[in-house]
Each structure stands twice: as structure tokens, then as C-alpha cells.
Structure 1
Amino acid sequence: MRPPRFWYRPPGWQAALLSPLAALYARETAKRVARPPEMRASVPVICVGNINAGGTGKTPTVTALVQRLGLRGRAAHVVSRGYGGSLEGPVQVDERRHSADQVGDEPLLHAAFGSTWVARDRAAGVAAAVEAGAEAVILDDGFQNPAVAKDLSLLVADATVAFGNNRVIPAGPLREPVQAGLARADLLLTIGGPEAQARFAADWDRQVHIPQLRGALHPLQTGMVWQNLRVLAFAGIGNPEKFFATLRDLGANVHATHALSDHQPLTSALFARLKREAQQANAQLVTTEKDAVRLSMEDRRQVLTVPVRLELDDWAPLDARLEALGL
């Protein structure tokens, strides 16, 4: 399901009506994160998380961290819960053998860049990664999960939507209050273009008292010519409109768009409907990397993707933290 629109508007009667439930949700989260960790790993554990429900850009951030640590000569393993997958783990993801139905879509993407594990029990997943030779473990999500002691916590926020109406679920999009989350984090990364970053700074910078990184997602230069290509785009990510805007920025002729729910299963019936609509419009189907891995191999061959990578304005604050961890 798509998040309610009122989450991203100034608080109104809906948020007020749901405030008692939001207070209960925040209280339960505070109790959970206050629990002592079940384990402390023998290698640094870096958590990439958020305080918003839904997508904020964690997946490309994890990819960027794996690559950054690789450049520093460190083997980083990713540990994920494997949202949407059926395997409880710990199991090491093999992109040639596993499907998104088994391990989730994000772990399949991570596995293309480095060793990746799925585990419902995060402590067991970290232990398996360390035993397999990880020199650092990157927790994909898990900021509100106390199972593993974290040596560095990086919060990721979408600069365009920021923290929504600044209310906790179900009154707003937050898993916990902003100040409570920032108090436990080491760095805040906001992802977006210059205009979005400026708006975030105007609205939130006075409340951010931890070092802040700024970055943006940029399409990879693959040689694909998008200019004037007639496309039918679909996406089931946190903010599908950002993907559609990227296609327009690339010069594509976007005939139609379909915004799906985050992680929505791409069933054969749904894909058949999208394919039929594209054929009738003489348009090429286009989607994100994350959505493509949820398609069957046969269906995937009929769809173009737009791979994007995170680029930071300044890596120095993050590099300094990695250096302090001996990485």
C-alpha cells in the first residue's frame, strides 16, 4: 500500500486523531531500542538505517559503502533481514541461484557488489558473516533493532520529503521521533538535488546536531540513448516519482507511469497487463534495478532498467569515521 498523503502535509485532523496511537508506537520503539544488544561483533558493524517508514535511499547507500570500503582494501559483508523473502537464514545470497521470493529484492542487488547474507535473526547473520571472513559488517536497516551493537550508525533521509509531517506512525511516517533517532545516530545523510537539499536545510538544519552528509543519486552512463525513447515506466520503490523524474531528465518520452507499492510482488498477471499496455502504446517497458530483480528471468529480458549510484558531495566526514574504526 502507498503511504497516506497526509503524512507529507502539515499536521491536520488525521494526525491529531491518530496521535494517541502514535504516542504508543513511539513508546514501544523507545523501550525496544533501550534494550542491551545481544552481541558485539569482533569486527566493526555499520548500520545504514532510517527513521522514516519506507524507502529513503538505504539500498544505494549500502552499495556505496561496500564499494568505498573495497577501495580501502576492506571486505565488507552486508546483512539484511531479507524483506519479502521466505528464507529465515542465515544464508549467503547467490544471485544466480536465489530469487527475490526467497531472499528479498534488496539482498539480490547487494549480492552483485559483495558478500550478502539474509537472516531474520540479525545477530546470527552478523556471526555468520564474521565467520566467513567479513572485515566489516554493514547492517541494511535495523536502526531500531537492538540485537547487534553498532559501531557506526548512518541515518538516511530523502531530502525531498524529509521527515514528513514530523509525526510517528500511524499519524505520520516516522518510526520514532526525529530527535530520539538523531540522538542515537552518528551521521545523517540526506539524498536529493540542490533544491531539495536547500529546503531540507531551511526546515531541519537547526534541529540536526550531528555531522551531515549530502548526496544525490545519478544514473550510470551505460551508453543507453534515452532521448525521445517512448517508455512506459513502473516502479515499486519508496518514492516512484523520483524514478519517473529521472527518466524525464534523461530525455525519455514518458508515455505512462505506474507507481506500485514498495516491494510489491510483480506477478505474472501484473506484468502481462503492463506488457500489453506498452505494446498497445508502442512503448518500451522501463523500471528500476530493484524492481527488475523481482521479475522472472524471461520477463526481465523485456524490460530496460536505469541503474543509479550514490555520489556524496564530500566523503571526508565518513572517511574519518571509517578511519577511526580501523577501516
Structure 2
Amino acid sequence: MRLNTPRWWYVRDSSHARLTRTLLKPLGWAWAGVTARRIARAAPVDPGCAVISVGNLTVGGSGKTPVAREILRLLRAAGVEAQGLSRGYGGRLEGPVRVDPTAHTAADVGDEPLMLAQGAPVWIARDRIAGARAAVHGGARTLVLDDGHQNPALKKTVSLVVVDGETRGDEWPFGDGSVFPSGPMREPLKAGLARADAVVVMLPTDVETADPELLETFGALPVFVARLTPEGPPPTGPQVGFAGIAKPWKVERSLKAAGCDLVDFVPFPDHAAYGADTLAFLADRAAVYEAGLVTTEKDWVRLTPEQRAGVSAWPVVARFEDQAGFTAFLNKRIQSAR
């Protein structure tokens, strides 16, 4: 069963949120201990090529997959045979297998690998070592590892952590620093940053600059700002939006900021599967408002071809503010590791 991301993880001024976090802290300490031991005891394997790890410090919702997609695009545009590697969360195949967007579905390989495979060769594998070896055998000279920061199986050339830099009202990106399930952290902030080579702060187009207090958190680590940018305007006319991502409320905000006439919005859990009953419910909701249906690209790829016919996708991409500086940073790290 998939659950919605709790809003109380990110809320400062709420007595209910503080009480809930306090009660769950012992479980968070246990989770952090298991993660720390697993990483400390690992013996990372060199797959025979550069590995760029794109991960995060929180449970979902930072924008790491769009960043991985953009890194693949930049490297391949520069003539580097870069390929993606993902666990394939949500898919039934264990791999190693190269994702075929024309044959595989999200139920086979997961929604995020299916998105990544639109622009570059991508492999999925529960066993990251086996997946990396298959990719290298398949011609990869650089691997972009999606969601790999807490996975110590491979020797990493560059470790990037992606941070959601959008804060509104009483929200803050790391909660109170508590580890899951007491908060959104996968591990303590200090431990996660200690293994990072750089931080990518994700901002929406309508937020001018990152919070200076947030930037101070990263100390001397290089920080690169990237923005989630719509590839085009949202569909015209009244729309009922829906999204099954870690922070669906951000999609609602972004659609409104882009000028969408959003008359209603329905959130679902991250990686939610959309059955016939769910789509019928959404279609009925849209009919009430005489509206269309709009969702994210990640949600759209989880729909069947028949379901897609009645839903508009609103894709967004990550773009670095200092693309030249970021590319130079990657190249320097890769060259120095050879």
C-alpha cells in the first residue's frame, strides 16, 4: 500500500505535527542506525566507468529524476556515451534489462526509468552492480545513477544530492531534521552531506532565489541551482488536475503559477497505479466542471494508451542556471578520477 507524503513533516508551527514527530522519533533513530551500518560495512565495486550518483536526503519529492534526465542530456550532447541506471521502483522486472519505451510499461520497469528512457539508454536492476556491468557491456562509458545516494554498492565518481529549495509559509525542506517515519529524512543531514560532492537546489520558475538560510546548511559544498521549467503552457480551458507524486501539492501550485484555469485538483500517493475506477472517478469530476484532465508526465506514463487519450500531460524539465559551470564541475571530477 502506498501512502501520501505527510504534510506535517514539513510544517513548523503545529502542535499536532510536533507531537506526532516526537512519538515517532525512536523509529527514526532505528532507521538511521540501520542505514548508517549498511553504508559503513559496504565495499563499493568499481564498474569500469564513471558513476554520477543523483540522490536526495529526503523521502521523495526533491526533483532528482529530472536532474538525472538533464545530466544525461548534457553529457550525451557533449558526445559522452552516458546511460542511466535505476532500481526500477514500481516495476515488476528485476533486471538487469535495458528499458524499451516502445515495449515496456511503467508496470514493467517503473515510471521514472520510462521517463528517462525517452532521451537516453536506461537500465533497471534491483542489483545495482549487475545493472552497472550490463550497462558497461552495452556500451556505457558514464553511468548516471538515479536515486543512489544511500546505495553503497557502486564506487561513485561524483555524488550529487538534490534538495527541494521551495519553501512557502511555514514549510521547510528538511522538516525538523527527523529521519523517517518521524520526518522526511532518509538519514541525518550531516551524514548525508558528508558523502556528497555537490548539492543541486531545485527551484520552481516563480521563486526568484534560494533561501540564504538553506544555502548556509551546505557549508563549503559547491551548490548549483536548477529550475523545473515547463516545456510548454498548460492546456487551455478549465482543468481538473491530478498527480501521484511525493508532493502533489507542488503540482497544483505550479499549474496555477503557469496560468492554468485549475478548477479542482486530486492528489494521489507517489507512484499510484490508476485503474479504470480511478479514471472513471476523475472523468466524472471533470464532467461536473465541464473541464479537461491534466497531470504530470510521470503520472501520464503510468496510464494505458486508452486512458492517455482523455488526459493532457504537462511535462517539466530541469535546467541549470549555470549550465557551463555545472558541466565543467562534472568534467573535472570525471577526469580527475581516471
TM-score higher than 0.5 here? yes
* Counterpart for residue 156 of structure 1: 162
- 2 CA distance for matches of 1:101 and 1:238? 18
Letter in 2 for 1:37: A
Q: Distance in 1 between matches of 2:218 and 2:329?
A: 22
Mapped pair 1:14 → 2:16: no
Query: Residue 118 of structure 2 corresponds to which residue in structure 1?
Result: 112
| 2:169 corresponding residue in structure 1 | none
Q: Distance in 2 between matches of 1:281 and 1:194?
A: 28
Counterpart of 1:297 in structure 2: which amino acid? P
Deviations 1:73-125 (A, max 9, x none): 11211111111100000011111111111110011101101101110001101
How many Å apart are 1:298 and its aligned residue?
0.8
CA RMSD for the aligned pairs?
Answer: 1.9
- Quick one: which of 177, 181, 190 aligns to 1:170? 181
Q: Report the number of matched residues.
A: 324
Gaps of 5+ in 1: none
Distance 1:83 1:30 in 2: 22
Contact 1:123/1:147, CA 8 A, preserved across alignment: yes
Specify the code of the residue in structure 2 equivalent to 1:124: A
Partners of 1:273 and 1:5 lie apart in 2 by: 24
Q: 1:312 aligns with which of 301, 316, 320?
A: 320
Using the TM superposition, give the Cα deviation of residue 13 of structure 1 relative to its aligned residue in structure 2, in angstroms.
Answer: 2.3
Give the drift of 1:319. 1.8
Percent identity between matched residues is 39
Structure 1 segment 1-327 matched on structure 2, within 5 A = 1-10=3-12, 12-160=18-166, 161-193=172-204, 198=209, 200-221=211-232, 226=235, 229-324=237-332, 325-326=334-335
The question of whether the paired residues in 2 share the 8 Å contact of 1:232 and 1:283 is answered with yes
Q: Letter of the aligned partner of 2:67 in structure 1?
A: T
Contact 2:90 2:110 in 1 (8 A): yes
In structure 2, what residue type is equivalent to 1:2?
A: N
- The alpha carbon displacement at 1:40 in A equals 0.5
Q: Distance in 1 between matches of 2:218 and 2:294?
A: 39
What one-letter code is carried by the residue in structure 2 that aligns with 1:209?
Answer: A
Compute the TM-score of the two structures, normalised by the length of structure 1: 0.94
- Asked whether the 8 Å contact 2:200–2:225 carries over to 1, the reply is yes
Does the CA contact (< 8 Å) of 1:162 and 1:200 recur in 2?
no
Aligned residue identity for 1:65: I
Distance 1:225 1:58 in 2: 23
| TM-score computed with the length of structure 2 as normaliser | 0.91
What secondary structure sits across from 2:41 in the alignment?
coil
C-alpha distance in 2, partners of 1:196/1:2? 25
Over residues 175-218 of structure 1, what are the superposed CA-to-partner deviations in whole Å (9 max), with x where a residue is unaligned?
A: 10111100000110111148857563224514433111111111
